Amino acid sequence: MTLLAVVLPLIWLAWLALIDWVPMPPLNDLTPDNRRSRLLAAVINYPFPLLVSGGVALGETWSLIAAAALCCLTLAGHLLSWWLPYFGLGSASQREVYERDYARTLKILPAEGHDVVPDVQHLVVGALTLAMLATTLTVTLSP
């Protein structure tokens, strides 16, 4: 389980880097207009999985707790960015970013009545985030 908890954050990071920088329409919509926002998101998001993976690999109590806390923050960020807006609790700026960067990406969830709809690329991010949290907590809480 420890190996999986070390590797999953790296898979999460690889997926994020892939969808952020490799054009794969309609999975993603990489235009020169959103390059700056993608760079900012990378600077913010990319350190998290590296720290989680490193914390689990180190295997110390404090590093495992820190890794679990970072997983929780990552999940909170995903929920705030995608799921709260999907259920109508988004801000005008979130709707603006969605329209600019994600309105033309592939979606499988119902869009009717929703200003922001998590696309396939972010559904995968969410699933990987949950898996990363579950494996990290399992290693952290195991004797």
User: What's the mean pLDDT when you consider all of the chain?
Assistant: 96
Average pLDDT over residues 64-71: 98
pTM, two decimal places: 0.94
Confidence class for position 63, pLDDT limits 50, 70, 90: very high
Rounded Cα distance, 69 and 46, in Å = 16
Give the gyration radius of the chain's Cα atoms: 16
Structure tokens at 65: 């707790």
Domain count, the chain: 1
Three-state DSSP at 99 gives helix
Q: What is the pLDDT of residue 143?
A: 83
**Mean pLDDT calculated for residue range 2-16:** 98
Q: Which structural domain, as residue segments, surrounds residue 84?
A: 2-141
Please check the confidence at residue 8 and state whether its pLDDT lies above 90.
Answer: yes
